[in-house]
Amino acid sequence: MFQAALKPLTSLAICLSCLALPADRTAAYELHDGPTGVLKNVAGKTFEGYTLFAPTVKCTTTYLINMQGDVVHTWESKYPPGLYARLLPNGNLLRAGSLSGQPVKIGGAGGIIEEIDWNGKVVWSYTMKSDNEIQHHCYRQGAAQRLPNGNTLVTSTQQGHLFEVTPAGEVVWEFVNPIMKGQPKAFFCDATESLPGKSATNMIHRAYRYAPDYPGLRGRDLSATRPLVPGWPRFLDVYKPLNTK
């Protein structure tokens, strides 16, 4: 039993030694093979808040995570992703979904927009799917959100890569989506997690950071958290001690 408990830590340590990431790096790491979750979090330099993202491939869950990468809230839909999700000021989620029987076969085709309240109830929806038109992509892939402290949160769609960069160009927060085809995984491997055409299974088309006092979060208890990848340590909890002189 003791050996089984050590297996995740041993595997993660081996992966980290292969990466050999410099502790003082300031640029975003273009990840191909390695751990997932929060890779960097510089306290005092980041814009503290909660990050919303909807994994692109075969995932019906939208996640709200804290700065450590732990889940504070989720929304479920019965539809695969339509590549767009935002938190409204009333705390509801506005999310695009992908319908079956689409009139054309194009990447990013959706067909329905849903508003889902905090408790998971669909309170509004709009369908846009006919022989002549279909909702798709919703404002394109990739994003750059200017944060109130002057930093910018960047969504690099491929390989589910998010990072926060200061005006001086220093990366102070970094995250790689561990949700691949709807399932959490502690490691990403380009050779096994790529779709035809080289798209990655953990893509995120757009992500947004919300301050704790954002109207949609104000007064809500976000203290109960859970790990994105159950049973595995956070990357920074293991990586930081390895770089302590």
- Each residue's pLDDT tens digit in the chain (245 positions)? 434 444 444 444 444 444 444 445 555 555 457 788 999 999 899 999 999 998 877 889 999 999 999 999 999 999 887 777 889 999 999 887 876 655 555 555 556 778 899 999 998 887 765 554 444 454 444 566 778 898 878 777 667 788 898 888 888 999 988 988 888 888 887 667 666 656 678 888 788 999 999 999 999 999 999 999 998 878 887 776 544 44
Distance from C-alpha of 132 to C-alpha of 172, rounded to nearest angstrom: 45
pTM: predicted TM-score of the whole model, two decimal places: 0.68
pLDDT at 159: 74
Distance from C-alpha of 73 to C-alpha of 71, rounded to nearest angstrom: 6
pLDDT at 30: 53
Largest CA distance in the chain: 64
Strand-strand pairing, 37-41 and 171-176: antiparallel
Contacts of 55 (CB under 8 A, 6+ apart): 61, 63, 81, 160, 177, 179, 180, 182, 202, 203, 204
pLDDT at 231: 86
pLDDT at 168: 84
pLDDT at 82: 75
Distance from C-alpha of 156 to C-alpha of 141, rounded to nearest angstrom: 9
When computed from its CA atoms, the radius of gyration of the chain, rounded to whole angstroms, is 18
pLDDT at 134: 41
- Residue pair 178/37 in contact (Cβ under 8 Å)? The answer is yes
